[in-house]
Amino acid sequence: MIYKDPLYGPWVLPTYLKELLHTKETLRTRGIAQASSPAHLLTFVARNRVQHGLGVARLMAEVVKHNRCDLDEELMVSSAFLHDFGNTPFSHLCEDFLQEMIGKNGETFLENILDCSETEKVLAGFGVASRDVVKIVAGQAKPMSDVLNGDIDVDNLDNILGFNKFAAVEAPAYDALGIAGSFRFMDGHWLLLGDCYADVQKWQIARRAAYMDVVYSSPHYNGISMLYRAVELALYEGEISPEFFRFSDIEAISYLMTCNPRTIELVDKMSRWKWYPEVASWEIKEPSRFVAKIAACTHRRRKLLDEICGTLGIAPEKICLAMQRGVETKRIKTPFLVECGRKLQGTKFERPPLRVRVFVSPEWQFKKPEIEAIISNNFHI
Ligand SMILES: [Fe+2]
């Protein structure tokens, strides 16, 4: 089978990858968008997680081509293809809840998805154990797994290139295949050939553009904050079971529309693009330990929202809080190999701020000063 990849051109798929395309798990993953919202509800075009997986597999094949002595092709390319199969519906958006319910993230949940699955049988047919795939995907087979789950990896190289192309983000295009072909495993560590340094810098600019111009931007962030709150309120009501995390995006939206009235209202409004406006926001470069703890804990964030709702008389479905450390820049620790064996360490890096943003239903916008006061008092800012 020749797969016409929109980013890298035609690719004759290896037999093992072709077989993986037919499984039930691949079918499910086709229904999960490369964004935190179902594809049909986005304001931009996004690939699905199988299309992204094929792109990552293509880049991994390029890595393997230059490191055949150290890498098992079937294991590494299959892991690249399957790396997002453990994603919950709405991708990373539901990971907090997955963690809360079963103590796993989108990478380690792959173990549950693959257990006794069609995919596991196909993997076994060409001599790959699913537990080894999970270790590579979850970054537990260091240093080898760093090429898929590290500071610069084939997952993110494909993710940003594809995201920017389809979402029409204005950012430099970089040579992802060229960077993938520059990875070298030497003396037990990954290195990048110095020739790709300029393209890595372009990737960093492109990554920042993807997050700042679309992911953290209005209306995308407003919409996903509403969806997050909708799932959270369903969880409150005991309506989310572990089975929910195995749904595709559309199955999850359909299910949420059968939940409690507050969740239904949020999903319905978000689906109709009736996004809540942002009423308050903060960017905190050096958050105190107290604020960082709230950001990291779903219970503490919920408590803060409950306090706002209780004090101001706002119904829980009328307000959403997003609190997240940005990921638009990454510190690259992988060294670049330049002339005469000299190594150049990483690239420039500035840690992104913690962003706090509040969205409310339009009829409650007049409460902006009180909402700001409660959050400022809580955070001592
Ligand atoms: Fe990915």
User: Dihedrals φ, ψ of 47, to 5°?
Assistant: -75, 165
Q: Say if residues 88 and 98 touch (Cβ distance below 8 Å).
A: yes
Residue of 27, 149, 124, 1 whose CA lies nearest to 85: 27
pLDDT at 350: 81
Residue 38 tokens, joined: 């179902």
pTM value is: 0.94
DSSP readout, 134-183? HHHHTT-STTGGGGTSSSS-HHHHHHHHHHHHHTT-------HHHHHTTE
Rg (CA), the chain: 22
Residue 242 tokens, joined: 């572990």
Is residue 340 scored above 70 in pLDDT? no
Is residue 346 scored above 80 in pLDDT? no
Tell me how far the alpha carbon of residue 90 lies from the centroid of ligand 1, in angstroms: 13
User: In a 10 Å sphere around its CB, with 0-12 CB exposed, 13-18 middle and 19+ buried, how is residue 87 labelled?
Assistant: buried
Tell me how far the alpha carbon of residue 84 lies from the centroid of ligand 1, in angstroms: 5
- Encode pLDDT of 21-35 as tens digits: 999 999 999 999 999
Mean pLDDT, the chain, integer: 94
- Encode pLDDT of 113-145 as tens digits: 999 999 999 999 999 999 999 999 999 999 999
Architecture of domain 2-215: Orthogonal Bundle (1.10)
Tell me how far the alpha carbon of residue 150 lies from the centroid of ligand 1, in angstroms: 12
- Encode pLDDT of 180-229 as tens digits: 999 999 989 999 999 999 999 999 999 999 999 999 999 999 999 999 99
pLDDT at 331: 86
Instruction: Give residue 341's pLDDT band: very low, low, confident or very high (50, 70, 90).
Output: low
Tell me how far the alpha carbon of residue 343 lies from the centroid of ligand 1, in angstroms: 29
Tell me how far the alpha carbon of residue 371 lies from the centroid of ligand 1, in angstroms: 36
Tell me how far the alpha carbon of residue 156 lies from the centroid of ligand 1, in angstroms: 7
Tell me how far the alpha carbon of residue 161 lies from the centroid of ligand 1, in angstroms: 12
